[in-house]
Protein backbone atom coordinates (compact mmCIF):
# COMPACT_ATOMS: atom_id res chain seq x y z
CA UNK A 1 0.00 0.00 0.00
CA UNK A 2 2.73 2.47 0.99
CA UNK A 3 4.77 1.66 -2.10
CA UNK A 4 1.68 2.29 -4.17
CA UNK A 5 1.22 5.73 -2.66
CA UNK A 6 4.94 6.48 -2.98
CA UNK A 7 4.96 5.46 -6.63
CA UNK A 8 1.89 7.56 -7.22
CA UNK A 9 3.58 10.54 -5.54
CA UNK A 10 6.65 10.18 -7.76
CA UNK A 11 4.33 10.70 -10.66
CA UNK A 12 2.88 13.87 -9.19
CA UNK A 13 5.50 16.43 -10.43
CA UNK A 14 5.05 15.23 -14.00
CA UNK A 15 1.31 15.83 -13.79
CA UNK A 16 1.83 19.20 -12.15
CA UNK A 17 4.22 20.34 -14.89
CA UNK A 18 1.63 19.22 -17.42
CA UNK A 19 -1.02 21.34 -15.72
CA UNK A 20 1.19 24.44 -15.66
CA UNK A 21 2.10 23.91 -19.32
CA UNK A 22 -1.55 23.77 -20.32
CA UNK A 23 -2.36 26.95 -18.48
CA UNK A 24 0.71 28.64 -19.88
CA UNK A 25 -0.41 27.74 -23.40
CA UNK A 26 -3.81 29.24 -22.62
CA UNK A 27 -2.03 32.36 -21.39
CA UNK A 28 0.06 32.76 -24.51
CA UNK A 29 -3.09 33.41 -26.51
CA UNK A 30 -3.18 36.80 -24.82
CA UNK A 31 -1.14 39.69 -26.19
CA UNK A 32 1.91 40.82 -24.18
CA UNK A 33 0.05 43.98 -23.19
CA UNK A 34 -2.82 42.02 -21.74
CA UNK A 35 -0.38 39.71 -20.02
CA UNK A 36 1.47 42.50 -18.28
CA UNK A 37 -1.43 42.73 -15.87
CA UNK A 38 -0.79 39.20 -14.64
CA UNK A 39 2.74 40.18 -13.58
CA UNK A 40 2.02 43.29 -11.66
CA UNK A 41 2.22 42.76 -7.95
CA UNK A 42 0.55 45.97 -6.82
CA UNK A 43 -0.97 49.08 -8.43
CA UNK A 44 2.01 51.14 -7.18
CA UNK A 45 4.16 49.62 -9.92
CA UNK A 46 2.11 51.26 -12.64
CA UNK A 47 3.20 54.76 -11.68
CA UNK A 48 5.57 56.51 -14.11
CA UNK A 49 5.93 53.40 -16.33
CA UNK A 50 4.92 52.92 -19.92
CA UNK A 51 3.36 49.63 -20.98
CA UNK A 52 6.34 48.88 -23.27
CA UNK A 53 8.69 49.29 -20.35
CA UNK A 54 6.66 46.82 -18.35
CA UNK A 55 6.58 44.34 -21.21
CA UNK A 56 10.34 44.51 -21.36
CA UNK A 57 10.76 44.44 -17.60
CA UNK A 58 8.82 41.19 -17.26
CA UNK A 59 10.47 39.65 -20.31
CA UNK A 60 7.23 39.31 -22.24
CA UNK A 61 9.12 40.07 -25.46
CA UNK A 62 11.32 37.01 -24.83
CA UNK A 63 10.90 33.62 -26.57
CA UNK A 64 8.36 31.15 -25.23
CA UNK A 65 10.60 28.88 -23.13
CA UNK A 66 12.17 31.78 -21.27
CA UNK A 67 8.74 33.24 -20.59
CA UNK A 68 7.65 29.88 -19.21
CA UNK A 69 10.70 29.68 -16.92
CA UNK A 70 10.09 33.19 -15.64
CA UNK A 71 6.45 32.46 -15.05
CA UNK A 72 7.30 29.25 -13.20
CA UNK A 73 9.80 31.12 -11.01
CA UNK A 74 7.08 33.51 -9.92
CA UNK A 75 4.68 30.67 -9.47
CA UNK A 76 7.04 28.84 -7.13
CA UNK A 77 7.37 32.02 -5.10
CA UNK A 78 3.60 31.99 -4.78
CA UNK A 79 3.26 35.10 -6.89
CA UNK A 80 0.28 35.01 -9.22
CA UNK A 81 -0.01 38.72 -9.88
CA UNK A 82 -2.46 41.38 -8.75
CA UNK A 83 -6.18 41.01 -9.18
CA UNK A 84 -7.94 44.20 -10.17
CA UNK A 85 -11.42 42.91 -9.45
CA UNK A 86 -10.57 41.65 -5.95
CA UNK A 87 -8.19 44.55 -5.33
CA UNK A 88 -5.51 42.34 -3.79
CA UNK A 89 -2.85 39.86 -4.94
CA UNK A 90 -4.39 36.72 -6.44
CA UNK A 91 -2.68 34.40 -3.94
CA UNK A 92 -4.13 36.38 -1.09
CA UNK A 93 -7.59 36.39 -2.62
CA UNK A 94 -7.50 32.61 -3.09
CA UNK A 95 -6.21 32.07 0.44
CA UNK A 96 -9.01 34.23 1.78
CA UNK A 97 -11.82 32.69 -0.24
CA UNK A 98 -10.77 29.06 -0.32
CA UNK A 99 -11.94 28.12 3.22
CA UNK A 100 -15.47 29.14 2.29
CA UNK A 101 -15.49 26.90 -0.78
CA UNK A 102 -13.84 24.10 1.14
CA UNK A 103 -16.54 24.34 3.76
CA UNK A 104 -19.27 24.19 1.12
CA UNK A 105 -17.62 21.30 -0.72
CA UNK A 106 -17.06 19.32 2.48
CA UNK A 107 -20.63 19.76 3.60
CA UNK A 108 -21.83 18.74 0.14
CA UNK A 109 -19.47 15.78 -0.41
CA UNK A 110 -20.24 13.95 2.81
CA UNK A 111 -24.03 13.76 2.33
CA UNK A 112 -23.54 13.06 -1.38
CA UNK A 113 -21.27 10.10 -0.84
CA UNK A 114 -23.11 8.62 2.13
CA UNK A 115 -26.58 9.36 0.82
CA UNK A 116 -25.90 8.40 -2.78
CA UNK A 117 -24.39 5.04 -1.93
CA UNK A 118 -27.06 4.33 0.67
CA UNK A 119 -29.93 5.18 -1.68
CA UNK A 120 -28.31 3.19 -4.49
CA UNK A 121 -28.03 0.16 -2.21
CA UNK A 122 -31.65 0.43 -1.14
CA UNK A 123 -32.75 0.87 -4.71
CA UNK A 124 -30.86 -2.24 -5.82
CA UNK A 125 -32.13 -4.32 -2.90
CA UNK A 126 -35.70 -3.39 -3.78
CA UNK A 127 -35.16 -3.80 -7.49
CA UNK A 128 -38.34 -3.08 -9.43
CA UNK A 129 -40.36 -2.51 -6.28
CA UNK A 130 -42.05 0.82 -5.39
CA UNK A 131 -39.05 2.05 -3.37
CA UNK A 132 -36.80 1.49 -6.37
CA UNK A 133 -39.19 3.29 -8.73
CA UNK A 134 -39.41 6.19 -6.31
CA UNK A 135 -35.66 6.62 -5.98
CA UNK A 136 -35.22 6.32 -9.74
CA UNK A 137 -37.69 9.14 -10.34
CA UNK A 138 -35.88 11.14 -7.65
CA UNK A 139 -32.62 10.50 -9.49
CA UNK A 140 -33.92 11.39 -12.93
CA UNK A 141 -35.32 14.68 -11.64
CA UNK A 142 -32.01 15.50 -9.97
CA UNK A 143 -30.04 14.53 -13.01
CA UNK A 144 -32.15 16.62 -15.38
CA UNK A 145 -32.55 19.74 -13.28
CA UNK A 146 -29.80 22.34 -13.99
CA UNK A 147 -28.20 23.52 -10.74
CA UNK A 148 -28.77 27.21 -11.43
CA UNK A 149 -32.49 26.55 -11.89
CA UNK A 150 -32.73 24.30 -8.85
CA UNK A 151 -30.71 26.78 -6.80
CA UNK A 152 -32.98 29.64 -7.75
CA UNK A 153 -36.06 27.59 -6.89
CA UNK A 154 -34.61 26.81 -3.45
CA UNK A 155 -33.64 30.43 -2.93
CA UNK A 156 -37.09 31.61 -3.88
CA UNK A 157 -38.83 29.05 -1.71
CA UNK A 158 -36.68 29.00 1.41
CA UNK A 159 -35.59 32.61 1.40
CA UNK A 160 -38.18 34.52 -0.61
CA UNK A 161 -41.25 32.75 0.76
CA UNK A 162 -40.27 31.07 4.03
CA UNK A 163 -37.27 33.18 5.00
CA UNK A 164 -35.47 30.17 6.50
CA UNK A 165 -32.19 29.93 4.62
CA UNK A 166 -30.75 33.31 3.63
CA UNK A 167 -28.02 33.71 0.98
CA UNK A 168 -24.45 34.73 1.78
CA UNK A 169 -22.10 33.07 4.28
CA UNK A 170 -23.17 34.67 7.54
CA UNK A 171 -25.78 37.13 8.76
CA UNK A 172 -24.63 40.69 9.38
CA UNK A 173 -24.59 40.41 13.15
CA UNK A 174 -22.58 37.17 13.00
CA UNK A 175 -20.20 38.60 10.44
CA UNK A 176 -19.43 41.57 12.67
CA UNK A 177 -18.58 39.25 15.58
CA UNK A 178 -16.43 36.99 13.40
CA UNK A 179 -14.41 39.98 12.20
CA UNK A 180 -13.56 41.14 15.73
CA UNK A 181 -10.32 40.08 17.37
CA UNK A 182 -12.08 38.05 20.05
CA UNK A 183 -13.19 35.47 17.53
CA UNK A 184 -10.16 33.34 16.65
CA UNK A 185 -10.08 32.10 13.07
CA UNK A 186 -8.48 28.70 13.43
CA UNK A 187 -9.42 27.22 10.08
CA UNK A 188 -11.41 29.80 8.19
CA UNK A 189 -14.34 27.38 8.10
CA UNK A 190 -17.14 29.25 9.85
CA UNK A 191 -18.86 26.22 11.32
CA UNK A 192 -15.71 24.72 12.80
CA UNK A 193 -14.37 28.04 14.03
CA UNK A 194 -17.69 28.82 15.68
CA UNK A 195 -17.59 25.51 17.53
CA UNK A 196 -13.97 26.05 18.56
CA UNK A 197 -14.89 29.51 19.85
CA UNK A 198 -17.90 27.98 21.63
CA UNK A 199 -20.35 30.21 19.78
CA UNK A 200 -23.30 27.96 19.03
CA UNK A 201 -25.36 30.89 17.74
CA UNK A 202 -22.77 31.61 15.05
CA UNK A 203 -22.47 27.92 14.26
CA UNK A 204 -26.19 27.70 13.69
CA UNK A 205 -26.14 30.85 11.59
CA UNK A 206 -23.36 29.40 9.40
CA UNK A 207 -25.27 26.12 9.00
CA UNK A 208 -28.41 28.02 8.05
CA UNK A 209 -26.50 29.69 5.23
CA UNK A 210 -25.01 26.40 4.08
CA UNK A 211 -28.16 24.29 3.79
CA UNK A 212 -29.60 25.61 0.53
CA UNK A 213 -26.31 25.71 -1.47
CA UNK A 214 -25.37 22.28 -0.13
CA UNK A 215 -28.70 20.80 -1.21
CA UNK A 216 -28.31 22.38 -4.64
CA UNK A 217 -24.81 21.00 -5.06
CA UNK A 218 -25.66 17.66 -3.58
CA UNK A 219 -28.88 16.81 -5.41
CA UNK A 220 -27.32 16.39 -8.85
CA UNK A 221 -24.53 14.22 -7.48
CA UNK A 222 -26.84 12.26 -5.29
CA UNK A 223 -28.72 11.34 -8.38
CA UNK A 224 -25.50 10.44 -10.15
CA UNK A 225 -24.07 8.29 -7.38
CA UNK A 226 -27.42 6.67 -6.75
CA UNK A 227 -27.64 5.55 -10.34
CA UNK A 228 -24.06 4.30 -10.51
CA UNK A 229 -24.32 2.45 -7.20
CA UNK A 230 -27.66 0.93 -8.11
CA UNK A 231 -26.62 -0.42 -11.48
CA UNK A 232 -23.29 -1.59 -10.13
CA UNK A 233 -24.98 -3.37 -7.22
CA UNK A 234 -27.45 -5.03 -9.57
CA UNK A 235 -24.62 -6.26 -11.73
CA UNK A 236 -22.63 -7.63 -8.82
CA UNK A 237 -25.72 -9.26 -7.29
CA UNK A 238 -25.87 -11.56 -10.31
CA UNK A 239 -22.22 -12.51 -10.09
CA UNK A 240 -21.30 -16.10 -9.42
CA UNK A 241 -19.22 -15.25 -6.39
CA UNK A 242 -22.28 -13.80 -4.69
CA UNK A 243 -23.98 -17.15 -5.21
CA UNK A 244 -20.84 -18.71 -3.75
CA UNK A 245 -21.16 -16.44 -0.72
CA UNK A 246 -24.74 -17.62 -0.21
CA UNK A 247 -23.63 -21.23 -0.60
CA UNK A 248 -21.17 -20.65 2.24
CA UNK A 249 -24.17 -20.16 4.51
CA UNK A 250 -23.57 -16.48 5.20
CA UNK A 251 -26.49 -14.35 6.29
CA UNK A 252 -28.04 -12.14 3.63
CA UNK A 253 -26.72 -9.05 5.39
CA UNK A 254 -23.13 -10.29 5.29
CA UNK A 255 -23.51 -11.31 1.65
CA UNK A 256 -24.78 -7.83 0.79
CA UNK A 257 -22.28 -5.81 2.80
CA UNK A 258 -19.14 -7.86 2.44
CA UNK A 259 -19.46 -9.26 -1.06
CA UNK A 260 -21.95 -7.23 -3.06
CA UNK A 261 -21.43 -3.69 -1.86
CA UNK A 262 -17.66 -3.75 -1.59
CA UNK A 263 -17.33 -4.97 -5.15
CA UNK A 264 -20.02 -2.59 -6.34
CA UNK A 265 -18.07 0.33 -4.89
CA UNK A 266 -15.20 -0.08 -7.37
CA UNK A 267 -16.97 1.73 -10.25
CA UNK A 268 -18.37 4.20 -7.72
CA UNK A 269 -14.84 5.12 -6.67
CA UNK A 270 -13.91 5.56 -10.32
CA UNK A 271 -16.68 8.05 -10.99
CA UNK A 272 -16.18 9.85 -7.70
CA UNK A 273 -13.10 11.49 -9.27
CA UNK A 274 -15.22 13.08 -11.96
CA UNK A 275 -17.83 13.81 -9.33
CA UNK A 276 -15.41 15.99 -7.35
CA UNK A 277 -14.51 17.73 -10.59
CA UNK A 278 -18.18 18.40 -11.23
CA UNK A 279 -18.66 19.58 -7.66
CA UNK A 280 -15.90 22.16 -8.07
CA UNK A 281 -17.43 23.35 -11.33
CA UNK A 282 -20.85 23.46 -9.71
CA UNK A 283 -19.45 25.59 -6.93
CA UNK A 284 -18.96 28.49 -9.38
CA UNK A 285 -22.65 28.49 -10.24
CA UNK A 286 -24.00 27.71 -6.79
CA UNK A 287 -21.86 30.36 -5.11
CA UNK A 288 -23.06 32.90 -7.65
CA UNK A 289 -26.71 31.99 -7.13
CA UNK A 290 -26.45 32.14 -3.34
CA UNK A 291 -23.99 35.05 -3.20
CA UNK A 292 -21.71 32.76 -1.20
CA UNK A 293 -18.27 34.33 -1.08
CA UNK A 294 -15.96 31.51 -2.08
CA UNK A 295 -13.55 30.81 -4.90
CA UNK A 296 -16.38 30.12 -7.35
CA UNK A 297 -17.90 33.52 -6.91
CA UNK A 298 -14.42 35.07 -7.00
CA UNK A 299 -13.74 33.43 -10.36
CA UNK A 300 -17.14 34.34 -11.76
CA UNK A 301 -16.73 38.00 -10.79
CA UNK A 302 -13.20 38.04 -12.18
CA UNK A 303 -14.34 36.60 -15.48
CA UNK A 304 -17.11 39.16 -15.79
CA UNK A 305 -14.60 41.96 -15.35
CA UNK A 306 -12.04 40.44 -17.74
CA UNK A 307 -9.60 40.04 -14.86
CA UNK A 308 -7.18 37.65 -16.62
CA UNK A 309 -4.81 37.53 -13.69
CA UNK A 310 -7.45 36.24 -11.37
CA UNK A 311 -8.99 33.78 -13.81
CA UNK A 312 -5.62 32.27 -14.70
CA UNK A 313 -4.67 32.15 -11.04
CA UNK A 314 -7.83 30.36 -9.93
CA UNK A 315 -7.64 28.03 -12.92
CA UNK A 316 -4.16 27.05 -11.89
CA UNK A 317 -5.34 26.58 -8.33
CA UNK A 318 -8.25 24.44 -9.50
CA UNK A 319 -5.87 22.39 -11.61
CA UNK A 320 -3.52 21.70 -8.72
CA UNK A 321 -6.43 20.90 -6.43
CA UNK A 322 -7.83 18.41 -8.91
CA UNK A 323 -4.49 16.67 -9.29
CA UNK A 324 -4.40 16.20 -5.52
CA UNK A 325 -8.00 15.02 -5.37
CA UNK A 326 -7.34 12.49 -8.10
CA UNK A 327 -4.41 11.23 -6.08
CA UNK A 328 -6.72 10.71 -3.12
CA UNK A 329 -9.27 8.94 -5.34
CA UNK A 330 -6.56 6.64 -6.69
CA UNK A 331 -5.48 5.72 -3.20
CA UNK A 332 -9.11 5.10 -2.23
CA UNK A 333 -9.46 2.93 -5.30
CA UNK A 334 -6.48 0.86 -4.22
CA UNK A 335 -7.98 0.41 -0.79
CA UNK A 336 -11.26 -0.87 -2.23
CA UNK A 337 -9.79 -3.03 -4.98
CA UNK A 338 -6.69 -4.96 -3.95
CA UNK A 339 -5.96 -5.89 -7.55
CA UNK A 340 -4.96 -2.29 -8.32
CA UNK A 341 -2.39 -2.30 -5.55
CA UNK A 342 -0.55 -5.31 -6.82
CA UNK A 343 -0.11 -4.26 -10.38
Partner 1 sequence: MLDVKDLRKYFPITKGLFRRTVGYVKAVERVSFQVRKGETLGVVGESGCGKTTMGLSIMHLIQPTEGSIRLNVDGNWQDVNTQTIRRLRDKMQIVFQDPYSSLDPRMRIRDIVAEPLQAHGMKNRRERYERVEALLEAVGLGAHHMNRFPHEFSGGQRQRIGIARALALNPSLVVCDEPVSALDVSVQAQVLNLLDDLQEQFGLTYLFIAHDLSVVQHISDRVAVMYLGRIVEMGDVDSLFVTPKHPYTEALLSAIPDPDPDIVREKIVLQGDVPNPANPPAGCHFHPRCRYAQERCRTEIPDLKDINGQGHLVACHYAKELDLTGISRAETA
Q: Which residues bind partner 1 (CB under 8 A)?
A: 239-241, 243-251, 254, 259, 262-263, 336-339, 342
Least separation in angstroms between CB 245 and partner 1: 7
Q: How far is the CB of 41 from partner 1 (least distance, A)?
A: 53
302 closest CA partner among 147, 88, 101: 88
**Shorter beta-carbon distance to partner 1: residue 186 or 241:** 241
Shortest gap between Cβ of 253 and partner 1 (angstroms)? 11
Nearer to partner 1, 320 or 336 (CB): 336
Report the C-alpha gap between 317 and 297 in whole angstroms: 14
Cβ proximity to partner 1, 73 vs 258, nearer residue: 258
- Spatial distance between the Cα atoms of 259 and 15, rounded to a whole number of angstroms: 35
What is the C-alpha to C-alpha distance for residues 212 and 218, in angstroms, rounded to an integer? 10
Q: How far is the CB of 130 from partner 1 (least distance, A)?
A: 13
Nearer to partner 1, 2 or 342 (CB): 342
* Continuous segment of H or E residues that includes residue 232: helix 200-237
Taking the C-alpha atoms of residue 23 and residue 311, their distance in angstroms, rounded to an integer, is 11
User: What DSSP element (H or E) covers 72?
Assistant: helix 64-76
Closest CB to partner 1 among 47 and 339? 339
Q: Which residues pair with 88 in a beta bridge?
A: 83
Smallest separation, CB 254 to partner 1 (Å): 7
**CA dihedral of 127, 130, 136, 141, whole degrees rounded to 10:** 180
How far lies 294's CA from each of 94, 97, 104, 323, 342, in Å?
Answer: 9, 5, 9, 20, 40
State the Cα–Cα distance between residues 132 and 112, nearest whole angstrom.
18
Q: How many CA atoms lie within 13 A of 311 on its CB side?
A: 15
Least distance CB 139 / partner 1 (angstroms) = 21
The minimum distance between CB 341 and partner 1, in angstroms, equals 10
116: part of which helix (H) or strand (E)? helix 90-125
Amino acid sequence: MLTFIARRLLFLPVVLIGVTLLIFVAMSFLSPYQLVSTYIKSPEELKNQSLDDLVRKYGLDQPVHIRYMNWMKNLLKGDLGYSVSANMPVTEAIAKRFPATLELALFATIPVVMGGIWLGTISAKHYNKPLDHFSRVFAIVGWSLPDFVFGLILLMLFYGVLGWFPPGRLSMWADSIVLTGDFVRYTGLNTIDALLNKRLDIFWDAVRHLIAPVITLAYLWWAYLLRITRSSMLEVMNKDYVRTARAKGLTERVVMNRHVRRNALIPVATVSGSMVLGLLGGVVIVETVFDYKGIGLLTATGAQQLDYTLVLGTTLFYGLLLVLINLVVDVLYAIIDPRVRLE
